[in-house]
Amino acid sequence: MMPLERLLIEFLLNFLTREELNALLRSPQNTATLIGGLIAVSGALLGVFLLLRGLSLTSDAISHTALLGIVVAFLLMTGVFGLEGDTSSPWLILGASLAGVGTVLLTEMLYRSGLLRQDAALGLAFPLLFAIAVILVSRFVDDVHLDEDAVLVGEIGLAWANTNSHCFDHCQSVTVTEDHPAARMTRQCLNCRALGINPRDSRAEFVEVCGNCGDYSPAQAWSAGLLEREPALVFFPKSITVTLVMALLSLAFTLVFYKELKLATFDAALAKALGFRPAVMHYALMILVSLVAVGAFDAVGSILVIAFFIIPPAAAYLLTDRLALMLLLSPLIGALGAIFGYDLARGQLFSLLPVASGIAFINQLFGLDLIEDWDSSISASMVLMIFALFLLAWVFSPRYGLIAGALRRANSRRRFADQVVLAHIHNHQTTPQAATELRADTLHLHFRWTPRRMTTVLARLRALGWIRIVDGGAVLNERGEDQVYRFRRTMLEARNMPDSG
């Protein structure tokens, strides 16, 4: 990742000074928002296809079972191959990806047995693998910073502090040996632990050791006071690099295989008949989901990253039926959630409304004693704001929203009322009972409606020019007759029956 970071820094230095770039990247808000936005982009792009395939909760399973791949890879590195236990090693990412694919394979094996449904098979597979991972962590690597809490719940607000340093000028490394002027020699007891004695005991044996000997990078040497001239350093948060790579991979995968993904998602049988390989696309998608979940471990945590996979695509699905537009709206919703989420963690709702003031108002209104000081997790706040955007889409969606649905139902009730009144007038206006059946002041009795409702319907029909009131009775106009016949034709066509006149 270091070469990629340096390439990015060199590009950014064309537009910013080193001091401005450090100020930008060392800002907790800028770093958290950028990382959250990148995770939202990668998660949302892949989440759209998971949603359309009915596999959204597969991201939940993979985010859990990826821990098993990390633990197994860590144990192989340290116990079999004798490598250093580096928790940022790419071998851990590979192990997590393989665990994700293993989860999918085990789920499909259980499902294809014919004894379980897809959701039940998934519910059996991932708790089993996750439980094995937790046992391995607690049994073999409990002394390493590789615990289930660290993997499941990350803190994106601290991502700015976990950086790599890149030197661009005055880059002097320092090696401190025992004869170096800056070497700090200390005494170390050789037999205190073995004999269980105090260093002041007369039997204690000592040896002089160098307390600060070793190799220092330019950043470390400057921090330790070993250099007289400050090197030109740029500090780049590691999580930005990881999440950027995940976002670029997800974007490239979506753009390059858009046609194959679209066809395999909506009609896997046709895709197979045309020579595509929907199974390959499926497993490639699952591998990328695993990679994104692992990349989010140090930032938002694997539990909260599930929200980035599911909620933005679900909100986009409420707003459009077009796949291309869904792929544009979904990352946008996720990124806005990340931006507003950081502000919510600081106590600002949508960057405008103080949360503390809202709590104080609720306390005053209902006589409660809620804590008004607002202090929340940044990652959880981001998820909460993404869900708030989903609620807005759910309420205001022009096609599937609550308001649109209520308006459609109201319109359907209105049209039904209009049609039944028109049909009643049409059926009785040429009969001897017309004088009693069609009187405007008693017409509501034939429908068991309230007078107010009938008055409203008649007023609307008169305004539309479908009826007129003659001698206190309702009569169809020519447009009203035409409307009745249109309704009859529509009903007959819906029933697939010939119109008999």
Q: How large is the average pLDDT for residues 181-201?
A: 86
| Whole-number pLDDT of residue 145 | 52
Q: Rounded to whole angstroms, how far apart are CA atoms 35 and 41? A: 10
Tens-place pLDDT, residues 325-356: 999 999 999 999 999 999 898 888 887 888 88
pLDDT band at 142 (very low <50, low <70, confident <90, very high): low
Q: What is the structure's pLDDT at 100? A: 80
| Residue 455: Cβ-neighbour burial (10 angstroms; 0-12, 13-18, 19+) | middle
Say which CATH class 2-154+238-396 falls into: mainly alpha
90, pLDDT greater than 80: no
Looking at the chain, the whole-number percentage of residues with pLDDT higher than 90 is: 29
d(CA 311, CA 327): 13
Helix/strand/coil for 321: coil
CATH topology classification for 407-496: Arc Repressor Mutant, subunit A (1.10.10)
Look at residue 146 and tell me whether its pLDDT is greater than 60. Answer: no
pTM of full prediction above 0.85: no
Sequence ranges of the domains in the chain: 2-154+238-396, 165-236, 407-496
pLDDT over 80 at 492, yes or no: no
Q: Which of 281-285, 418-422, 486-490 has the highest mean pLDDT?
A: 418-422
Average predicted confidence (pLDDT) for the chain: 85
User: Over the stretch 428-464, which tens digit does the pLDDT of each residue have?
Assistant: 888 888 888 889 889 989 898 999 999 999 999 999 9
Instruction: Copy the structure tokens of residue 392.
Output: 């807005």
The average pLDDT across 122-144 equals 81
Report which listed range, 83-92, 232-241, 486-495, is most confident. Answer: 232-241
The answer to whether residue 214 scores a pLDDT higher than 60 is yes
pLDDT in the model for residue 500? 46
Instruction: Tell me how long the chain is.
Output: 501
